[in-house]
Amino acid sequence: CDVMLMVQLRGKQLQSLIGHRSSGQPLEDALANGCGAILISPHFGNWEIGAPYFDKYGKEMKVVMVDEEYQKIKQILDSQKRVRSFDVISVEEGSLSHIFEIRDALDKIKNSMHVDKDLIKEVIKEIQRALISSDVNIQLVLNISKEIEEKAFEEIPSGITRKEHIVRLCYETLLKYIGGEVKTQLPENPESILLCGLFGSGKTTTAAKLAKFYKKRGLKVGLICADTFRPAAYEQLKQLSEMVGVAFYGNPKETSAFKVTKEGLNLHKKNGCNLIIVDSAGRSALDDELVTEIKEIDNVFNPKFSFLVISADIGQAVKDQATAFNNAIGVNGVIITKLDGSAKGGGALTACYITKSPIYFIGTGEKADDFEIFDSNRYLSRVLGFGDLESLMEKITEATTEEEMEKMKDLNPEDILKGNVTFGLFKQQLEFSKKLGPLTKVMGFLGVGNKISTEQQNLGEKKMTKYRAILSS
């Protein structure tokens, strides 16, 4: 049967398998044995190496460990005629995310009858394993572990239990590694923003999200496409600009990013834009030619803010890149993208902590509204399953139109509690819930996302879509 490689790894995490073949089957043997899929993961504590397992479609998987580099694995797979695809995906959606392992470790404390030193050590080991797997700096992991262990059995404040004290201690200590309790306050009128970063980090989408963010706050925004390298960059940013309703400038025939930036800057100023955002080409900060180009853009644009856009799954490689970008143009802020759906971002968040670079925004989805000011307290509360009702209320307020507010004036909550719900009201509520984003995100805001499996939440999403279609027929 067909073979599919299913990988629960990001970036350098694959290298953690090198030299650790153990007693399991090598990759070539597993392929020769004709198993339906091969599962490669650092989480071997949950599975017996070499044993067969079945995914939700009943397809057989075999757990193997490999001692080859990434490209070598791909070459082996490509050489097999039975290989249908080479996928880098999670084996179980979200179930192996490292932040959820931390949450599970904290749940172990909350659900235990008695908290002793052995339990604390066990929980600390689980937190260490989760953070290291998430590409957090080793020394930082040791610092976190040491602090939790030292303070766990200190005298507890009055009014709380030992369990509550330890859970709160873990939370506050983890909060440190993403910069402490910080809610970034941006100036009301930033005037000019330059976005820079690596290839594929999400700069172009972020430019549109940032434009919409400030447009909603009353600014007239203009976007400039200074990416003259990527063929579809002009078309993509132009389309996104039209979608969010802001001014756009780009020149697909011009190869000089410097000239495009200068022309766009003059045009937007002439048209009265009070915020101009430049989307630069993706580049490695270690490439001298591209560094020269970004310096030229920086000189002609003279931005008030230079944001480094980082993909959450980049790992610790971001540290060198951030340092190099900072040396080139003076980065004074970070935007982390692709933080939706799982607990990625360990390496990126760690790098920000180590280099003391503030995180200004995070991207939490594909839509233009999936963008928010970074609040370390809220973010950690959400991913650890404590909920974030404040953010949910903000989402509800943003999603509510004046027309919907008028309709709600006639709504009596007691009627709903008594079961007096019409199809029209039901449809109205379904349409409104759609504006808040995926069900998984709403459940995360409520703090119950970890209590409901991803499959169940996805099923609920499909049912709601079906109900909306029926009610509209």
pLDDT tens figures, 123-165: 888 888 777 766 666 777 888 888 888 888 787 777 777 777 8
State the pLDDT at residue 134: 63
State the pLDDT at residue 23: 34
Segment 158-184 shows an average pLDDT of: 71
DSSP structural state of residue 375: B
Residue bearing the bigger pLDDT, 18 or 6 = 6
Segment 92-117 shows an average pLDDT of: 62
Segment 289-314 shows an average pLDDT of: 86
DSSP structural state of residue 282: P
Of 57, 140, 80, 142, residue with least CA distance to 347: 140
pLDDT tens figures, 324-366: 788 888 888 888 888 764 444 666 666 666 566 678 888 888 8
Residue 2 three-state SS: coil
At residue 17, does pLDDT exceed 70?
Answer: no
At residue 187, does pLDDT exceed 90?
Answer: no
At residue 120, does pLDDT exceed 50?
Answer: yes
Alpha-carbon distance 262 to 285, whole Å? 22
Pairing between strand 192-197 and 60-63?
Answer: unpaired
Segment 20-28 shows an average pLDDT of: 39
Domain 98-177: which topology?
A: Four Helix Bundle (Hemerythrin (Met), subunit A) (1.20.120)
244 pLDDT band, cuts 50/70/90, is very high
Alpha-carbon distance 456 to 471, whole Å? 22
What does the H/E/C string look like for 166-214?
HHHHHHHHHHHHCCCCCECCCCCCCCEEEEEECCCCCHHHHHHHHHHHH
CATH class of 192-386: alpha beta
State the pLDDT at residue 67: 37
At residue 267, does pLDDT exceed 90?
Answer: yes
**Assigned token pair, 450:** 């970890």
Residue bearing the bigger pLDDT, 212 or 158 = 212
Same fold, 98-177 and 192-386: no
Segment 315-324 shows an average pLDDT of: 70
215 pLDDT band, cuts 50/70/90, is very high
**Assigned token pair, 203:** 């700069």
Segment 40-67 shows an average pLDDT of: 42
99 pLDDT band, cuts 50/70/90, is low
State the pLDDT at residue 177: 62
Any idea which residue has 């084996």 for tokens?
A: 91
User: Is this prediction's pTM over 0.75?
Assistant: no
Q: What are the phi and psi torsion angles at 336 (to 5°)?
A: -105, 125
Which residues contact residue 207 at a Cβ distance below 8 angstroms, ignoring those fewer than 6 apart? 195, 223, 237, 240, 277, 279
State the pLDDT at residue 348: 63
Q: What are the phi and psi torsion angles at 26 (to 5°)?
A: -65, 165
Segment 175-202 shows an average pLDDT of: 72
- Average pLDDT over the chain reads 71
Of 91-100, 302-311, 433-442, highest mean pLDDT: 302-311
Give bridge partners of residue 7 from the DSSP assignment: 40
- Would you kindly state where each structural domain of the chain is located, as residue ranges? 3-86, 98-177, 192-386, 390-471
